[in-house]
Structure 1
Amino acid sequence: MAAESTPEPGTPGESGTTSGEPRWDGPRHRKERGSRKGLLIAAWMAAGVVVLGGTGAGYLYFKLNGNIKSVDINQALGTNRPTKTDNGSENILVLGSDTRSGANKKLGGGTDDGSARSDTAMIIHVYEGHKKASVVSIPRDTLIDRPACTDTKGVTHDAASAVMFNSAYSTGGAACAVKTVEAISGVRMDHYLEVDFAGFEKLVDELGGVQVTTTKAIKDSDSHLNLKAGTHTLTGEQALGLVRTRHGVGDGSDLGRIQLQQAFIKALVEQVKHIGLFTSGTKLYDLANTATKAVTTDSDLGSLNALMSFTNGLKSISAADMNMVTMPVQYDPSNLNRVIVSEAKAKQVWTALKTDRPIPKSATEGTATGEAAGVVTSS
């Protein structure tokens, strides 16, 4: 099938690109599109906060319950999907939402047109027994064949070839994003969580910041980040800058940014374990209120009771129990601003998730990395 001729979605006010464009100088010279990636990292932490929010009753319960937005993924996708595993393991697609309306407008820097993009995606595989998890990041710049899909409003969208992965969400929202991930991986997504970056910033602030250690100085005017090497307690604004910085570390690519996001997730998970949520009922409620406002879930998780039950099964998973990898990719030889799937190695990843086994180290050896590993660690 021929490559799609329409431009890839970019930041409002900027032109998009296609895989057929002239070759640029490489990842170090990529233009910052202000994509505000990594916002999905709040989802795991938000879920844990919601579990604790179940201590409330009456009005507080109904208020929190009313905050949760949900979409009926199963209805939109129908029955033509990968087989659901029945051993207690679960796969959750977590997306970061870059909406340009409301509170997000000043953070996104775009127009108040209500548009939204998902510039970060992670598959969280929770193993049988819910003691360990693997997290697979999918780079937004991966060129893929997007399947035909029907969104939650019943609108059908045509298939497209050689388009960026994040076009799935901008084309057909959550349902098309899930459909695309399942088509790429052959792995059934049991649940869906989406986090917007305005909620992410507020959550970090309400947690009192998140402590990280930078092994190198990070300075990026595009993401308004200026950190010396050393230990820092990041505010929400700084955390948002860290997880979206591209020029400040590594080779300047999305892959480097993903490595920062993965390091920050681990720091965030550890932070939640040490902030003493039970010491203040008011703080607990504020966190739960912000968390439930920040997430959109699939309809199976679309109530406080369902979300509490689900996240209760995740709370024993610590940062040390999380194996974080990036979907195996290589830079596209015809356009170094894009990546393509390393099919043989990616198959090792998907087979591991399907069979509920650890992802082998060989799956990611020799793949593109972004060269930012070890720049940020949990303190």
Structure 2
Amino acid sequence: MTQSTVRAPRARGEGPGNGPGDGAGNGSGDGGDGGDGPRGNGRRGTRGHRVLRWSASTLAVLILGTSGAGYLYYEHLNGNLDRGRRDNGDTKPLRAEANAAGQTPLNILLIGSDSRDSDENVKLGGSRDTRGNPPLGDVQMLIHLAADRRSASVVSIPRDTRVDIPECTDPESGDTYPATNDIINTSLARGGAGCTLATWQNLTGVYIDHWMTIDFAGVVRMADAIGGVAVCVEQNVWDRPLPGVPGGSGLKLEAGTRKVRGEQALQWLRTRHAWGSDPLRARAQHMYLNSMLRTLKDQNVFTDPGRLMGLAEAATKSLTVSEEIGTVKDLYDLGGRLRTVPTDRVTMTTLPTVPDPQDANHLVAKDGEAERIWRMLRDDVPFDDTAEDRTDAKPEADAETDAETEGEDDAAAGGDAEPETGAGPADSAAADAEIGVLVRNGTRSATDAPVRGRAGTVARALVGRGFARAATDTSAAVAEERTVVSYPSAELAADARRVAKSLGIAPSSVERSTEVSGVTVVVGADWREGTTYPEQAAPEAGELPADTDAIKGSDTGQCMDVYAPYRW
């Protein structure tokens, strides 16, 4: 169990159970057809789908057939789950504004932990000398489910990518970790998954609704419950220690398409040397997840109570989740939303990176290309270019379920008592001359030095536009890939938007932050000259940078090329 988790009420004493979000939602959410509608009812299957709505009593119908036994089993499954705080770091983004239909995107962070906090994890992961050490988040993926629920975009960040990690507080121990600049997998050890979520939010500007984690044992458990996942290698592969290159996952497969399960599935997901790099390991993970999604969609679990029980048992034992989705019902509803996305509208990518100038063994985000991906997520632009006027209309029952549970989704989405949206409060801004504005130089990047005098230039421009109280922040230059306008409290939101508008900065770049004491303009690396923020071309669907290594969920032809030293 990671530092940020607490054991659920009615815990059953199972193993550690950190689990992959990749299995929970999709595994238990597959199926969809719950029986025929009443005779003479023109709405196909409506009552049948209503019967399948998740609750204690319907779980009894689906699994055990009696309401009493079903309720007990539902409570047992809830007891399997570990939960933790959604966010325990110093983080900024606001929830995205709703579209014209009142829908908002859903963002889920999936974290694979290398925790060795149990005999099972030590056996699977080796490195007995590291038992008890804080876990590292070696696999990190953000799933973005579009507001219209018609597409899903996934971005992985390689574990050795250097990023800014905010100040985080461990909710269990109360220990506070100061802000730092380090590789992203260390964020999990600095306060748990809530700190990793805060790191992603600050990096991307995307509000993340939930997190899910999985450890070694959870991967094995889920792969067995699914029945194995098909993967492909171009050549025979054996990821083993070589002279001068210790380690290796132990994966050994013959060339061609093979089904991996149990420990072999874990070996596939952990393999790095045999593919040649960490970004290529992300590709192998994407291939596995896409194959798993296709497998689950092909399995009609609702017609097989025993199979449903097995998947539900494995998922709840394997998952640690943010507390606002900490029940089986929440996870089922989440899976139902993911289930509506066709596999050809699922696009998995890896963040474009370049070698870290400070350490050749690490990576940094590639300027410009990384921001294009983050903006597509913030603006809810699909990663694929599939036409939106699809003729295959959404199944009626799915549409009904979405409409009826949209409020529940919003209520569970963030875990904040009074979550704000990008719209901010309705009150108007103060007069320009009365708004205090501090301008900070954030033009330093991982590869470029800061532009000297940028804060002063922009502050003088604001004074010239009527913001008489604009001033320069004299503290050291910071690094901010994109320009943002931050404010500390709701009553200053309108002021911040007014300042942003005067500089030509988009409303999506106005953020609430505890790091500032008043309206603050952080001039980012994307604005290195001039006094008006350069107009940014709106990203179009499918306009991903060339080196994101995008793979569609429906692509069955993917096969990993094996790095020559690891062929046999």
Aligned to 1:160: 180
Render the CA deviation track for 1:339-361: whole Å, top value 9, x for unaligned. Answer: 11112111111111111002466
Indicate conservation of the 8 Å contact 1:210/1:268, yes or no.
Answer: yes
Overall identity of the aligned pairs, in %: 32
Indicate conservation of the 8 Å contact 2:105/2:147, yes or no.
Answer: yes
SS state of the match for residue 247, structure 1? Answer: coil
Indicate conservation of the 8 Å contact 1:328/1:345, yes or no.
Answer: yes
Distance 1:367 1:69, change over 3 A: closer
User: 2:271 aligned to 231, 235, 245, which one?
Assistant: 245
Distance 1:125 1:305, change over 3 A: same
Number of aligned residues: 330
Aligned to 2:283: 259
Q: CA deviation at 1:218?
A: 2.2
Indicate conservation of the 8 Å contact 1:330/1:367, yes or no.
Answer: no
Indicate conservation of the 8 Å contact 1:246/1:257, yes or no.
Answer: yes
More deviation, 334-343/42-51: 42-51
The amino acid that maps onto 1:168 is S
Aligned to 2:326: 302
Q: CA deviation at 1:215?
A: 2.8
Distance 1:219 1:159, change over 3 A: same
Distance 1:50 1:67, change over 3 A: farther
Q: CA deviation at 1:169?
A: 0.8
Distance 1:363 1:315, change over 3 A: closer
Q: Distance in 1 between matches of 2:299 and 2:543?
A: 37
Indicate conservation of the 8 Å contact 2:167/2:180, yes or no.
Answer: yes
User: 2:124 aligned to 107, 118, 121, which one?
Assistant: 107
Residue 316 (1) aligns with residue 331 (2): no
Give matches, 1:95-244, under 5 Å: 95-102=111-118, 103-111=120-128, 112-113=131-132, 115-153=134-172, 154-161=174-181, 163-221=182-240, 222-244=248-270
The amino acid that maps onto 2:79 is G
Runs of 4+ in 1 over 4 A off after TM superposition: 360-363, 366-369
Larger relative strand fraction:
1
Give matches, 1:66-105, under 5 Å: 66-74=79-87, 76-77=88-89, 81-87=92-98, 88-102=104-118, 103-105=120-122
Higher RCO (C-alpha under 8 Å, 6+ residues apart): 1
TM-score (norm 1): 0.80
Indicate conservation of the 8 Å contact 2:231/2:559, yes or no.
Answer: no
Render the CA deviation track for 1:89-122: whole Å, top value 9, x for unaligned. Answer: 1111110121102221211113342642210100
Q: CA deviation at 1:77?
A: 4.5
Aligned to 2:408: none
User: 1:365 aligned to 538, 541, 546, which one?
Assistant: 546
Aligned to 2:38: none
Q: Distance in 1 between matches of 2:355 and 2:216?
A: 28
Q: Distance in 2 between matches of 1:276 and 1:358?
A: 28
SS state of the match for residue 166, structure 1? Answer: helix
Q: Distance in 1 between matches of 2:361 and 2:549?
A: 12
Larger gyration radius, structure 1 or structure 2: 2
Unaligned runs of 5+ in 2: 1-17, 31-53, 64-69, 99-103, 241-247, 384-540, 551-556, 562-568
Q: Distance in 1 between matches of 2:264 and 2:254?
A: 13
SS state of the match for residue 330, structure 1? Answer: strand
Indicate conservation of the 8 Å contact 2:230/2:259, yes or no.
Answer: yes
Aligned to 2:415: none
SS state of the match for residue 172, structure 1? Answer: coil
Q: CA deviation at 1:146?
A: 1.6
Indicate conservation of the 8 Å contact 1:152/1:175, yes or no.
Answer: no
Aligned to 1:11: none
Aligned to 1:15: none
Render the CA deviation track for 1:207-244: whole Å, top value 9, x for unaligned. Answer: 22112232333221221112222121112222111111
